[in-house]
Amino acid sequence: MPFSVDEPAGLKGIVELALDMRWAWNHAADHIWQRLGPVLWESTRNPWLLLKSVGSQRLQTLARDEEFVRAFRACRSEHERALKAPAWFEEAHAGDPNRPTAYFSMEFGLSEALPLYAGGLGVLAGDHLKTASDLGVPVVGIGLLYRRGYFRQVLDALGNQLEFYPTNDPDIMPILPATDRSGAWLRVPIELPGRALWLRAWVARIGRVRLYLLDSNDPENSPADRGITAELYGGGAELRLQQELCLGIGGWRLIRALGLEPDVCHLNEGHAAFAVIERAQSIVEATGEPFEVALIAGRIGTIFTTHTAVAAGFDRFERTLIVPYLERYAAELNVPTETLFALGSEPGSASMFNMAYLAVRGSGWINAVSRLHKTVSRELFHELFPRWPFAEIPIVHVTNGVHTPSWDSREADQVWTQACGKDRWLGAMGQVEEAITKVEDKTLLGMRLHNRTRMIEFVRTHLERQLASRGTAPERIADAARVLSPDALTLCFARRFTGYKRVTLLLHDEERLVRILTNPKRPVQLVMAGKAHPQDEEGKELVRRWVTFTERPDVRNHAVFLSDYDLLVAEMLVQGADVWLNTPLRPWEACGTSGMKVLVNGGLNLSELDGWWSEAYSPDLGWALGDGNVHSDETAWDDTEADALYKHIELSIVPAFYDRDKNGIAGEWFALTRASMATLTPQFSANRMTREYVEMLYLPAAAAYRRRTADGLRIAHSLERWRHSLEQCWGDLRFGVSETTGAPPGPYRFGVKLDLGNLNPSFVRVELYAEGKTRGDPPERITMERGTLAGGTIQFTATVTTERAITDFTPRALPYHPEANLPLESPFVLWQH
């Protein structure tokens, strides 16, 4: 067990304050921690580590300092008031049950004090938990505790990326062991081939929310098994499979051990999809019902969020690898191993198990993470719904957002507070847009100058350390203190370095870029950061190329590459950037959130029309690359877009930034800034995102789950009988010849006969279907009236008035059950030819 901290009498509650990661975004107590240990606080920003490091004598001394004690008690009171104050969910949904949603994610990016993330997926998960706390949404996070988080990046003397994996010590992370009612460390077992694996649980507090983390480093496990959760995304396919079993199966068992009864299980990506099987197993144990019925009951309360834009991004396991893991589990469930394998099988392949497909087949709701990504995801999953129109592939979208209080600077916070009030991100944000439009240009100018200056100070300090670690000459290190200018237009670009991000598009014509950067009258400066995956040699070469460019003598004062991109670097860059650059190859960016983080700080975006920017962009809000289409000749299109990128900077961005009136105000620039802040910040905040999850998905899923599990799973039983009958009899359905009478524009009388074979007539309905008039329009569906059954055949009729050609409409038969979610729960459809 981690050693404890003795609280002096005057500082009771300081441990609770240090362990609640609300300090990651609420900085009311920063002055307390700074006073406690200024050097350690500045280098770690980890109150729990600070508290455990300063020693009891220091605490006793401060407990006798009346001014410190008063300040501490004020912070503690503010913290308690904030957590007890009525929140949005309580006020907006007072009549809804307050059961927590179980939110599963492979990564959580909350703070550098808890480095359990690799990139955007984890940061998004962290922002979701923070926002759930702010809004009072009942959510509990489930993840893994990695002894080695994602790698730290170091550059060698030649600019090559080197990877190091520092150990995450739970003793100094803001977490504690999760305990059972007796006070014992909470542990859950899962079954692996030939042995049991014990997972112990830790808990982190995030305001009103709890995050539970499973850890295989238990003394009862073998040395090899103790290392299963050692490293985020480490090892090969089998280790990844084992981690995903820990997350999904172990995570759901932990929920049960905690005594939680969630209506909703939210899978943030497919990594945790084994939870759908374990959830069904828990229903089997509780009710004694068959696995198939339990799966139907649990499915409707499960939500799958996909973040993947290419099929290669799905986790897939060979049959020979996964079957030994499924065999013992299937025996527990009393089902054939093939039943479990089929849940993740790929159509037309008996050899691959796909975790995303398991998530789809085990969920009642699927969402993509941007409007464009919904289209991409429908393409990726279309093969699971053969013969269904593209527009009806059952995927909706909830566009990602960012937790604005985590990313705004002190000055930005002051501007927003003065304009919109202190609680602006804690409710529905109804007045935010109008209020921020009234902020004066000079106020925005002051905020931007402060933000840019602070970022440059950070860049210089970071660069000095970076150059020193590479063995750079002392005079070059000294030069780092003079790079960049607080008054120059500053572009920032930071993300994972990989091919589809096109991180070197800006280097397409190096000399043109140099001329832009070194213009003596209107200079531009560039700050870059990013890591390549350790196995991505192409990405590593992209890193080296940028490092080499920024070390050119004519460039080094105007462009900087910062090593070891992490949450702190990201925070400083999004606060200081005048323009955030993003150049992915459309449509490979599922959403992207880095550009959203600059909005609250008055930064603007120049981005490809991909992900979130494809739905956010307007000419009065920023700048766009691309024409909104996908181009097969990538090389030629790169040439075109590189030229457009330079032209945007030269002809639009530079003039807008530097053309100023006699008072030094760039009117066009701040018109863009004000519009971007007002329109986009609330729209792409996690506040909006989390409220959409609640109202579009969590509440409907919870209500449907409660209906399905009521009355001894009556509805689930009914759906299982319906499903079985469809599988047996759907192939017997046959359409007869249709008849149409009437003339344009109608009314038309449309009739068609359907031979049901042995299918129950109540299990089917017939519609007239027509594609949308134009691309993007919803399809038209007209339910046909059922006639009398005669000799196994039913006549269906409809009266239609339309300006469209009646030949646009095609009869189709669909499965019908009042509680079924089509086509997720039945992919059958029969079209009249």
- Please report the DSSP string for 613-655 in residue order: HHHH--TTT-EEES-SS--S-HHHHHHHHHHHHHHIIIIIIHH
SS3 state at 749: strand
Q: Report the C-alpha gap between 555 and 559 in whole angstroms.
A: 6
| Strand duo 352-354 + 101-105: pairing | unpaired
pTM over 0.85: yes
Closest C-alpha among 107, 84, 79 to residue 19? 79
Let me know whether 701 and 662 are in one domain.
no
> In terms of C-beta distances under 8 Å and separation of at least 24 residues, what long-range contacts does 641-650 make, across chains too?
641/505, 641/583, 641/608, 642/505, 642/506, 642/508, 642/509, 643/508, 645/505, 645/506, 645/508, 645/583, 645/606, 646/509, 646/512, 646/513, 646/516, 648/606, 648/623, 649/491, 649/516, 649/524, 649/606, 650/516
Q: What is the CATH classification number for the domain harbouring 807?
A: 2.60.40
572 domain-assigned = yes
640 domain-assigned = yes
- The number of beta carbons lying within 10 Å of the beta carbon of residue 443 is 17
Q: Report the C-alpha gap between 352 and 465 in whole angstroms.
A: 47
Let me know whether 230 and 356 are in one domain.
yes
Quote the Cα angle for 543-546-551, to 5°.
125
Residue ending a domain, among 55, 84, 113, is 84
Let me know whether 377 and 468 are in one domain.
no
Q: What is the CATH classification number for the domain harbouring 349?
A: 3.40.50.2000
Burial of 274 (0-12, 13-18, 19+ CB in 10 A): buried
Let me know whether 94 and 136 are in one domain.
yes
411 domain-assigned = no
Burial of 259 (0-12, 13-18, 19+ CB in 10 A): exposed
Let me know whether 376 and 427 are in one domain.
no
Closest C-alpha among 142, 382, 141 to residue 250? 142
Let me know whether 113 and 175 are in one domain.
yes
Let me know whether 264 and 381 are in one domain.
yes
Residue ending a domain, among 56, 84, 112, is 84
167 domain-assigned = yes
Q: What are the helix and strand counts (H, E) for the chain?
A: 33, 31
Let me know whether 338 and 447 are in one domain.
no
Q: Report the C-alpha gap between 272 and 313 in whole angstroms.
A: 15
Q: Given the structure tokens 């689930």, which residue do they identify? A: 716
Q: Number of folded domains in the chain?
A: 4
405 domain-assigned = no
412 domain-assigned = no
Q: What is the pLDDT of residue 775?
A: 74
Q: Report the C-alpha gap between 784 and 546 in whole angstroms.
A: 63
Using an 8 Å Cβ cutoff, are 391 and 778 in contact?
yes
440 domain-assigned = yes
Domain around 15: 9-84
Please provide residue 127's backbone torsions phi and psi, each rounded to the nearest 5 degrees. Answer: -65, -35
Let me know whether 765 and 704 are in one domain.
no
Let me know whether 676 and 699 are in one domain.
no
Burial of 644 (0-12, 13-18, 19+ CB in 10 A): middle
Q: Report the C-alpha gap between 103 and 264 in whole angstroms.
A: 9
Q: What is the pLDDT of residue 4?
A: 67
Q: Given the structure tokens 């993947």, which residue do they identify? A: 308
Contacts of 243 (CB under 8 A, 6+ apart): 106, 144, 228, 229, 271
Please provide residue 830's backbone torsions phi and psi, each rounded to the nearest 5 degrees. Answer: -125, 125
125 domain-assigned = yes
DSSP lists the bridge partners of residue 167 as 148
Return averaged pLDDT per consecutive 10 residues of the chain, 833 residues in all. 72 95 94 93 92 91 94 95 94 87 97 92 97 97 93 93 92 95 94 95 98 97 96 91 98 97 97 97 94 97 96 95 93 92 92 97 98 96 95 97 96 95 86 90 96 97 94 92 96 93 95 97 97 93 96 96 95 97 94 96 97 96 94 91 97 97 94 96 97 97 96 96 96 92 87 95 96 86 93 93 89 97 96 92
Let me know whether 724 and 758 are in one domain.
yes
Beta strands in 341-435 (DSSP E): 352-354, 365-368, 396-397
Let me know whether 470 and 605 are in one domain.
yes
Residue ending a domain, among 84, 103, 134, is 84
Q: Given the structure tokens 């993300």, which residue do they identify? A: 495
